[in-house]
């Protein structure tokens, strides 16, 4: 049986499913990945800083204009692309499987745009919009407009610096997202599929290892090998944009035949 057929069969037989998605999925929309070939940032900024320092919580406090210089690059990249057929295939699988969840490292909002239900979407690194004021908390939905004006963007109500609800370097992960992830992990998953992620964070690897140890099915969809390659049952090498719609086609045809 071909890898894609094995993954399709596992999804068809499963109730609880988790897709873990990373930058590789959105790279197929034309969005640069954070690291690696074609990465948005590699090495140091024009100021000679590691990008991790420029895009950090302490830098936003100390020099908001410098931090926002690089936040704006992320914002323009995300606004300049859109959800692709891979995102839409996952959203359709969530429609077909009411206990199908998405855990994403991506901050671009493309899963929501593609139709993934917010109540089954865990954005572990936050998202780029809406902005909110660090001083008074007021929300501001006009990210695109602010990127055309001098930075950092300021609150219309109190003049405080606006920021996105995204996790910067040296900041904690959002408590609600972590709580949601571990609540679902305690229930267990029958199938976990990692898509386009280098799996460099423990909270990305853990669902795969837990599910495999419990006897569940695990798979990876990625053009290259990653830290997860030896941990999953099935490795399917390919672009998410190509593989996920084909996977959906296999699943849909099986359902029709029944």
**Residues 3-24 pLDDT 10s:** 999 999 999 999 999 999 999 9
pLDDT at residue 198 greater than cutoff 90: no
Q: Show Cβ contacts of residue 162 under 8 Å, excluding neighbours closer than 6 positions.
A: 131, 132, 133, 134, 140, 146, 152, 153, 154, 155
Between the two ends of the chain, the Cα-to-Cα distance in Å is: 20
Asked if 238 and 156 sit in the same domain, the reply is no
Per-residue pLDDT tens for 43-70? 678 888 888 899 999 999 999 999 999 9
**Catalytic machinery residues:** 125
41 belongs to a structural domain: no
Asked if 101 and 224 sit in the same domain, the reply is yes
Mean pLDDT of the chain, nearest integer: 92
Tokens 């919580």 correspond to 57
The neighbour count for residue 44, using CB atoms within 10 Å, is 12
Higher pLDDT, 44 or 234: 234
What CATH number is attached to the domain comprising 11?
A: 3.40.50.1220
Asked if 142 and 246 sit in the same domain, the reply is no
Per-residue pLDDT tens for 96-132? 999 999 999 999 999 999 999 999 999 999 999 999 9
44 belongs to a structural domain: no
216 belongs to a structural domain: yes
Bridge partners (DSSP) of residue 198 are none
Asked if 70 and 193 sit in the same domain, the reply is no
Cα-based angle 29, 131, 199 (whole degrees, multiple of 5): 45
pLDDT at residue 255 greater than cutoff 90: no
Residue 36 banded pLDDT, cuts 50, 70, 90: very low
Asked if 9 and 117 sit in the same domain, the reply is yes
45 belongs to a structural domain: no
Q: How many domains does the chain have?
A: 2
Q: What is the mean pLDDT of residues 165-173?
A: 95
Give the Å distances, CA to CA, from 151 to 72, 98, 147, 169, 191.
9, 42, 7, 20, 44
Nearest CA to 233 among 204, 254, 203, 213? Answer: 213
Higher pLDDT, 230 or 43: 230
Determine contact, residues 118/96, Cβ cutoff 8 Å. Answer: no
């Amino acid at each position: 049986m071909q890898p894609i057929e094995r993954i399709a069969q596992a999804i068809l037989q499963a109730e609880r499913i988790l897709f873990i998605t990373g930058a590789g999925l959105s790279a197929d929309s034309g969005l640069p990945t954070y690291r690696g070939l074609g990465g948005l940032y590699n090495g140091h900024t024009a100021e000679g800083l590691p990008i991790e320092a420029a895009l950090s919580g302490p830098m936003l406090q100390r020099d908001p204009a410098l931090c926002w210089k690089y936040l704006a690059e992320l914002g323009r990249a995300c606004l300049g692309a859109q959800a692709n057929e891979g995102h839409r295939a996952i959203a359709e699988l969530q429609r077909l499987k009411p206990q199908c969840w998405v855990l994403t490292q991506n901050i671009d909002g493309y899963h929501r745009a593609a139709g993934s239900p917010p109540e089954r979407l865990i954005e572990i690194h936050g998202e780029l919009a809406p902005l909110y004021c660090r001083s008074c908390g007021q929300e501001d939905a006009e990210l695109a407009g602010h990127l055309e004006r001098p930075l950092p963007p300021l609150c219309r109500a109190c003049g405080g610096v606006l920021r996105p609800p995204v996790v910067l370097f040296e900041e904690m992960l959002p408590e609600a997202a972590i709580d949601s992830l571990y609540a679902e992990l305690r229930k267990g998953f029958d199938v976990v599929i990692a898509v386009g992620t280098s799996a460099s964070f423990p909270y990305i690897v853990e669902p795969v290892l837990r599910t495999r140890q419990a006897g569940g099915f695990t798979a990876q969809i990625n053009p290259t090998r990653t830290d997860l390659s030896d941990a999953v049952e099935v490795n399917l090498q390919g672009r998410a944009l190509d593989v996920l719609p084909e996977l959906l086609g296999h699943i849909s045809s099986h359902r029709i035949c029944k």
